[in-house]
């Protein structure tokens, strides 16, 4: 399974619910920051982008980046930190 960070900018209509539903449908996810999620999936970055794009408007922005190996963060709660550490270890194995 690959680990991806999803960053987005919903500009005008800001339909978060539709986007959140699609992200949560991946099953393994965490909402790390206001506009940033991390998911674990067997899909490619292009497939994730295409799936999430269906819940977005033409003026929105989306970045899907594969995570592997090293990562660092600050100010995330213990639940999110633990989840990220576990998923990063799994992705690196």
Residue 41, beta-bridge partner list: 2
Residue carrying the six token digits 């991946």 = 26
CATH number of the domain bearing residue 40:
3.30.70.240
Domain that holds residue 45: 2-92
Q: Is the pLDDT of residue 43 over 80?
A: yes
How high does pLDDT run on average in the chain? 92
Q: Which residues lie across from 40 on neighbouring strands? A: 3, 28
User: Two tokens at 39?
Assistant: 């998911």
Quote the pTM value.
0.90
> Structural domain tally of the chain?
1
């Amino acid at each position: 399974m690959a680990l991806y960070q999803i960053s987005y900018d919903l500009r005008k209509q800001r339909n978060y619910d539709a986007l959140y539903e699609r992200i949560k449908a991946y099953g393994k996810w965490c909402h790390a920051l206001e506009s940033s999620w991390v998911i674990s999936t067997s899909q490619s970055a292009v497939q994730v982008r295409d799936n999430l794009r269906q819940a977005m408007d033409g003026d929105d922005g989306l970045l899907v980046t594969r995570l592997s190996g090293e990562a660092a963060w600050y100010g995330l709660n213990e639940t999110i930190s633990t989840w990220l550490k576990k998923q990063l270890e799994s992705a690196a194995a």
